[in-house]
Structure 1
Amino acid sequence: MSTKPDLRNQVALVTGGTSGIGRETALKLAEYGASVAIVGRNRKRGRKVAKEIEARNGDGWAELYVGDLASKDNVRNLAAEFEDRHDRLDLLVNNAGTFRHQRSETVDGIEATFAINHLAPFLLTHLLIDLLVESAPARVVTTTSELHENGTIDFADLERERDYEDMAAYSQSKLANVLFTDELARRLDGTGVTATTANPGFVPETAFTREASIRGRLTLGLFSILPLPFTKSVEEGAETVIRAAASPEYDGVTGEYFSDGDVAESSDESHDAEVRKRLWDVSAGFVGISPDSLDF
């Protein structure tokens, strides 16, 4: 970044913040002075990261929220607990994600890839939006993937019950991230809250593929140690997320897709207004909220 961000007195919440891209993002935001709350499933690892955050952010604080975002109740509890503790939120980074080799369902009976990668950030953002608006200028950044370009939103089978294929399910969820963000940016216009997506690139070291097949995990492990031109380290991948989240040069930038550290062009389908609006309405039904709850 040409100018180092000054995030002192700002509050950030990073999901999936105990490892990989999320951890690196949380630590960098702390280095810029932000107080950072992280969300993860592993309490021991989370406490360690929280201590690292506190060692970096001067007068700021660090918090750990332990929970599984596969559960709608857990997402609601997270939002409620955060709001009970804090009167501001300047930055929400929806980073938690998963890749499932085999089809599985959450405790709510929803296909896990769609639920965790799309519905969880959709619901969490809705629940925290009033706090973000009250703290404006504020930002919402959702981690997506270049694989969104291969995705398609199959409204007839969003949960992939007929024919589950891991890459198709993942690509659909990442396209959903971009569509959600574009619609969110439109609805938040004039509030001072911006919404963007960030593609960290192919980072084989991340833990999001813990549910992948044994062959897939072995392949990714090999990629992580070979000097391949299309792979990135965790630090390199997180840089795009961090720039979207904190760079002063992107103040006020909304509805954009970031890749390789800058604004880029997302897929043609991600710009389909009809699909974007329909996905918003369907997603609201999945999580039990009004599709008009963010009409400011």
Structure 2
Amino acid sequence: MEQQSSDPRTIVITGASDGIGAAAARRLAGVGHEVVVVGRSAEKAEAVARPLGARHFSADFARLDDVRRLAQDLRRAVPRIDVLVNNAGGIFDHRELTPDGHERTWQVNHLAPFLLTQLLLDRLTADGAAVVNTSSVAARLGRLRPEDLGDPRGWSPHRAYGDSKLANILFARALARRHGPAAAAFHPGGVATNFASATSTPLRFLYRTPLGRRLMISPERGAETLVWLAEGTPGRDWRSGGYYEKKRPARTNPRAHDDALADALWEHSAERVGLGPSAR
């Protein structure tokens, strides 16, 4: 039996119906935190939440109206949020536009969590909440520049994924600097989950073959840094705006430290998801 937490928190986790999100939900609920499970599939989210006695919601991040509805549902049903974990994401092998007109990888991995955070921002600020973004070592592949944001030229699955994971780090940095809620991004490691199942890139064979999965860590181990950030105290246990791996500050793409790029990304994202000037 896991030890009861001395500081119970309400922790909303997106992408929590599988993988490290589900593992983190189980771990955090097991030590006394109130976990809110969010998944693309209502059935899978309920299957994770029910044994935990947790609330659950569904939202497809490829549809921004789902994100807007999720934000409204959370505002109505969850009186307080201490931690928002933006964990949902994926990699896709074809360039495809969502119903909102955005490249799918970019929307699911960055624009949707950006919008959700913005729609909850006043609550997060009032509650003294922290925001945790699941990024990746693939951020090192990101080539984002202010003039390239939204430019489809040179698209590839790995570049799209790397750009979106770099955006997760830049968003955490900008959020901490601009609006006050503590924020951090982290790399969970190479985790044996259903990630990359929707792609035929070489990553699929790493994640879906017995040999590849033997080289990877379990979802429970992959969730360790997420749990550490969610339970930790910013300024004492971790630095707001930072990027972490294995519960330690980690090196990443040098562009992740570019405040001008972070600001340009913020402006670009706010415009693309239809937020007014107050969000910029």
Q: Tell me the TM-score normalised to structure 2 length.
A: 0.91
Counting only pairs closer than 5 Å after superposition, residues 1-296 of structure 1 correspond to structure 2 as: 5-8=5-8, 10-54=9-53, 62-136=54-128, 138-159=129-150, 161-189=152-180, 193-203=181-191, 205-213=192-200, 216-222=203-209, 227-228=214-215, 231-248=216-233, 250=236, 253-290=239-276, 292-293=278-279
Tell me how far apart the structure 1 counterparts of residues 5 and 251 of structure 2 sit (CA, whole Å).
25
Tell me how far apart the structure 2 counterparts of residues 180 and 201 of structure 1 sit (CA, whole Å).
20
Shift of 1:224: 6.3
Query: Which structure 1 residue ranges, 4+ long, deviate > 6 Å from structure 2?
Result: none
Q: What stretches of structure 1 of length at least 5 have no aligned partner?
A: 55-61
Tell me how far apart the structure 2 counterparts of residues 234 and 179 of structure 1 sit (CA, whole Å).
25
CA deviations on 1:53-79 (whole Å, 9 max, x unpaired) are 22xxxxxxx111112011111111100
Tell me how far apart the structure 2 counterparts of residues 163 and 74 of structure 1 sit (CA, whole Å).
29
Q: What stretches of structure 2 of length at least 5 have no aligned partner?
A: none
AA paired with 2:107? A
Distance 1:111 1:154, change over 3 A: farther
CA deviations on 1:67-97 (whole Å, 9 max, x unpaired) are 2011111111100111112221111000000
Tell me how far apart the structure 2 counterparts of residues 270 and 13 of structure 1 sit (CA, whole Å).
25
CA deviations on 1:154-178 (whole Å, 9 max, x unpaired) are 5555445333210000000000111
Computed over aligned residues only, the root mean square deviation of the Cα atoms, in angstroms, reads 2.1
Distance 1:214 1:176, change over 3 A: closer
Counterpart contact for 1:4–1:247, Cα < 8 Å: no
Q: How many residues in Structure 1 have an aligned counterpart in Structure 2?
A: 277
AA paired with 1:44? E
Tell me how far apart the structure 1 counterparts of residues 268 and 60 of structure 2 sit (CA, whole Å).
22
Counterpart contact for 1:16–1:96, Cα < 8 Å: yes
